[in-house]
């Protein structure tokens, strides 16, 4: 029988439900089980595609082109579970489907209600993923916090599934906060109330994860157990990790969380094998080299906006036995800096990364950052918009097209080196109009990117509307910009490189989405390797 584990959260948001859920999945996979992950987002948006990074953090893109919550990126980094469109559920999708069925007369004249119609659609989507051949366990993270009005239908659907499938096939994990008040006292009352609220909905948690600044004493754990009706051994402490989030599966393993899950679900599995994961964590904690990377972006004030990029840089460090320190540089600030101030800003940086984004704000600062990296021979990695910025900078300062620009920023520019595809010029709808998901690229032999991948054919994920204008290809190439990757048939530019530069690579796709701590992406590993060489040369 298929098994289902629901993760809910209480007290406050952003406690790390996604990391907790995927850490458990990591442990179950280490025992030979096949796991699927689902993220439920209670917002009414159909997907995350049109949401601001300041509201929602980064948008994680799947192979099949779904624009999803950043937690799915955590799932991909911690597990081998395939992450596709079906693994992301939103309230917008649920209501859109139920209303569509109602308009088609599929409910045979019945009054359409939250129960059973909305909850049935929620369960249908969960079971569609969970019933796939070979899947042993499906872990479902319910976004938001117990008590939020938006989450109630999902918690009700989760409650119903225990009745539908049997108690031994459905497990409930609840994550709460143990806050510290004046004098350093740890308070359990918020956790008690959170569990009480969950029980009022009809769900008694089987496992309780308590987010705390430190490991809790046995007395506090016993108190929590008594007041929440959760066995003492099933009260798991998710204490703050000082060095790396990748240590969390090890912390859960030490508290035997995976054993408790197997016992409660009556599930047979092999012994855990986490040696490779422990070795990776050891490198994170004991790396003997430090490298400093400057990220020149427009959303740097919200850490989650570039979550996958920051993690992929850390993975590149792991591949080179190095710890990556980030210097986050607001591209808007660079626009008003003098040359001397820019020199000072980049003085302690060994590599520059220019990430993606949308809109004109901050792009002048990105261009100045790219120019500094190019002229000072600092390794530079441009991703999506970052690659387009590198092309614009080259066109302006090497090709001497002073007004070179993207039609996204300046529609009337006389030199649109970056522009929309012809068939997209008249788009009026923003959602779902981009080049999205996995597609093929062919790499030019002898280039940096070809050497990094050690292959002439790659498949990477895209999320953009604008492309390098084909009408400027010859001029750009003649002036020293190397076009190192194309779509099949050389229809579109996929990657560029600076000539006469140690490592200046721009890619139109998003390699960060495929990087994991166990298998660092080759481009990030190569970029960090080059940055280390630059650092050694300048000691």
CA distances to 62, 334, 389 from 493, rounded to whole Å, are 21, 28, 14
Q: 28 φ, ψ to 5°? A: -65, -40
pLDDT tens sequence across 458-515: 999 999 989 999 999 999 999 999 999 999 988 899 999 999 999 999 999 999 999 9
Percent of the chain with pLDDT over 90: 86
- Res 503: pLDDT: 97
pLDDT of 367 strictly over 80: yes
- Return the minimum-mean-pLDDT range out of 340-354, 395-409, 415-429: 415-429
Do residues 532 and 508 touch, judged by C-beta distance below 8 A? no
On the question of pLDDT at 432 being above 70, the answer is no
The pLDDT score that the predictor gives to residue 428 is 47
Average of per-residue pLDDT across 140-166: 95
Tokens matching residue 92:
């917008």
Identify the CA nearest to 386 among candidates 362, 403, 410, 404. Answer: 362
> Residue 96: CB partners within 8 Å, gap ≥ 6?
46
Question: What is the band of 325 on the pLDDT scale with cuts at 50, 70, 90?
Answer: very high
Q: Are 14 and 150 in contact (CB under 8 A)?
A: no
Look at residue 216 and tell me whether its pLDDT is greater than 80: yes
User: SS3 of 140, please?
Assistant: strand
- Tell me the DSSP string of 226-255: HHHT--GGGEEEEEPPSS-GGGHHHHHHHT
Q: Which residues are within 8 A (CB) of 284 and not within 5 positions of it... i.e. 6 or more apart?
A: 243, 244, 246, 247, 314, 318, 323, 517
**What is residue 427's three-state secondary structure?**
coil
Structure tokens at 112: 């359409």
**Half-sphere exposure of residue 136: CA atoms within 13 angstroms, side-chain side:** 16
Please give the average per-residue pLDDT across 523-536, as a whole number.
95
Q: Mean pLDDT over all residues of the chain?
A: 93
Contact 190, 224 (CB under 8 A): no
422 phi, psi to nearest 5 deg: -55, -40
Q: Give the three-class secondary structure for 337.
A: coil
Q: Which residue in the list 371, 408, 494, 512 is annotated as catalytic?
A: 512
pLDDT reported for residue 329: 96
* Spatial CB neighbours of 512, under 8 Å, sequence gap ≥ 6: 308, 309, 311, 312, 383, 521, 524
- Per-residue pLDDT band for 422 (boundaries 50, 70, 90) equals low
pLDDT confidence tier of residue 14, bands split at 50, 70 and 90: confident
Which tokens sit at 166? 């049997």
* Cβ neighbours around 82 below 10 Å, total: 16
> Where residue 302 falls among pLDDT bands split at 50, 70, 90?
confident
pLDDT at 424 over 80: no
Section 132-140 average pLDDT: 96
Position with higher pLDDT, 145 vs 182: 145
Residue 3 has pLDDT above 90, yes or no: yes
Q: Which of the following is catalytic: 210, 284, 380, 384?
A: 384
Cis peptide before 11 (omega within 30 of 0): no
| Peptide linkage before 90 cis (omega within 30 of 0) | no
According to the model, what pLDDT value does residue 539 have? 59
Please check the confidence at residue 95 and state whether its pLDDT lies above 50: yes
Does the annotation mark 512 as catalytic?
A: yes
Are 246 and 22 in contact, with CB atoms under 8 Å apart? no
Catalytic residue (choose from 350, 450, 462, 510):
510
- Write down the pLDDT at residue 536: 81
| 301 catalytic per annotation | no
The pLDDT of residue 301 is above 90:
no
Q: Kindly report, residue by residue over 235-273, the tens digit of the pLDDT.
A: 999 999 988 999 999 999 999 999 999 999 999 999 999
How far is it, in rounded angstroms, from Cα 93 to Cα 95? Answer: 6
Domains of the chain from N-terminus onward: 3-278 (3.40.50.300), 287-423+430-537 (3.40.50.880)
Asked if 510 is an active-site residue, the reply is: yes
Percent of the residues in the chain that have a pLDDT greater than 70, as a whole number = 97
Query: What pLDDT shows up at residue 427?
Result: 46
Torsion of CA 274, 279, 281, 282, to 10 degrees: 140
The first and second tokens of residue 225, run together, are 């157990």
Q: At 420, is the secondary structure helix, strand, or coil? A: strand
Find the angle CA(151)-CA(157)-CA(159) to the nearest 5 degrees.
100
pLDDT reported for residue 426: 46
The span from the CA of 313 to the CA of 247, in Å, is 17
Q: Say what the pTM is.
A: 0.93
Q: Angle at CA 21, nearest 5°, toward 126 and 278?
A: 135
Query: How far is 379 from 293, CA to CA, in rounded Å?
Result: 10
């Amino acid at each position: 029988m298929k098994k289902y584990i629901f993760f809910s959260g209480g007290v406050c948001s952003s406690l790390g439900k996604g990391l907790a859920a995927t850490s458990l999945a990591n442990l179950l996979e280490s025992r030979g089980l096949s796991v699927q992950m689902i993220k439920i987002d209670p917002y009414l948006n159909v997907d995350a595609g049109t949401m601001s990074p300041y509201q929602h953090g980064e948008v994680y893109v799947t192979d099949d082109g779904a624009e999803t919550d950043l937690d799915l990126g955590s799932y991909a980094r911690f597990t081998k579970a395939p992450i596709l469109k079906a693994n992301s559920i939103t309230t917008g999708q649920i209501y859109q489907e139920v209303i569509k069925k109602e308009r088609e007369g599929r409910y045979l004249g019945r009054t359409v209600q939250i129960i059973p119609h909305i909850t049935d659609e929620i369960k249908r989507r969960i079971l569609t993923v969970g019933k796939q051949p070979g899947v042993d366990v499906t872990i479902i993270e319910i976004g938001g916090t117990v008590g939020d009005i938006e989450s109630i239908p999902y918690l009700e659907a989760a409650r119903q599934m225990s009745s539908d499938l049997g108690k031994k096939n459905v497990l409930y994990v609840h994550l709460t906060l143990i806050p510290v008040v004046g004098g350093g006292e740890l308070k359990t009352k918020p956790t008690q109330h959170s569990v009480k609220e969950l029980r009022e909905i009809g769900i008694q948690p089987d496992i309780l994860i308590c987010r705390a600044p430190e490991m809790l004493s046995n007395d506090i754990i016993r108190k929590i157990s008594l007041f929440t009706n959760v066995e003492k051994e099933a009260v798991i402490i998710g204490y703050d990790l000082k060095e790396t989030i990748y240590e969390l599966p090890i912390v859960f393993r030490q508290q035997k969380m995976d054993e408790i899950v197997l016992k409660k679900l009556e599930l047979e599995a092999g012994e855990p094998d986490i040696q490779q994961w422990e070795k990776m964590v050891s490198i994170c904690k004991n790396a003997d080299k430090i490298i400093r990377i400057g990220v020149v972006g427009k959303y740097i004030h919200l850490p989650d906006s570039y979550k996958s990029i920051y993690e992929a840089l850390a993975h590149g460090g792991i591949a080179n036995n190095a710890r990556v320190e980030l210097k986050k540089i607001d591209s808007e600030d660079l626009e008003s800096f003098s040359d001397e101030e820019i020199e000072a800003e980049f003085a302690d940086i060994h590599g520059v990364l220019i990430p993606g984004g949308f809109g004109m704000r901050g792009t002048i600062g990105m261009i100045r950052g790219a120019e500094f990296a190019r002229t000072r021979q600092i390794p530079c990695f441009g991703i999506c918009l970052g690659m387009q910025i590198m092309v614009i900078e080259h066109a302006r300062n090497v090709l001497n097209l002073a007004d070179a620009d993207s039609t996204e920023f300046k529609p009337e520019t006389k030199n649109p080196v970056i522009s929309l595809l012809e068939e997209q010029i008249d788009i009026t709808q923003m959602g779902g109009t981009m080049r999205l998901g996995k597609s093929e690229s062919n790499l030019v032999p002898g280039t940096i990117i070809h050497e990094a991948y050690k292959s002439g054919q790659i498949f990477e994920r895209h999320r953009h509307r604008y492309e390098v204008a084909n009408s400027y290809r010859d001029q750009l190439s003649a002036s020293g910009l190397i076009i190192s990757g194309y779509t099949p048939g050389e229809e579109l530019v996929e990657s560029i490189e600076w000539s006469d530069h140690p490592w200046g690579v721009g890619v139109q796709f998003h390699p960060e989405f495929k990087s994991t701590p166990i298998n660092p992406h080759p481009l990030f590993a190569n970029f960090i390797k080059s940055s280390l060489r630059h650092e050694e040369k300048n000691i």
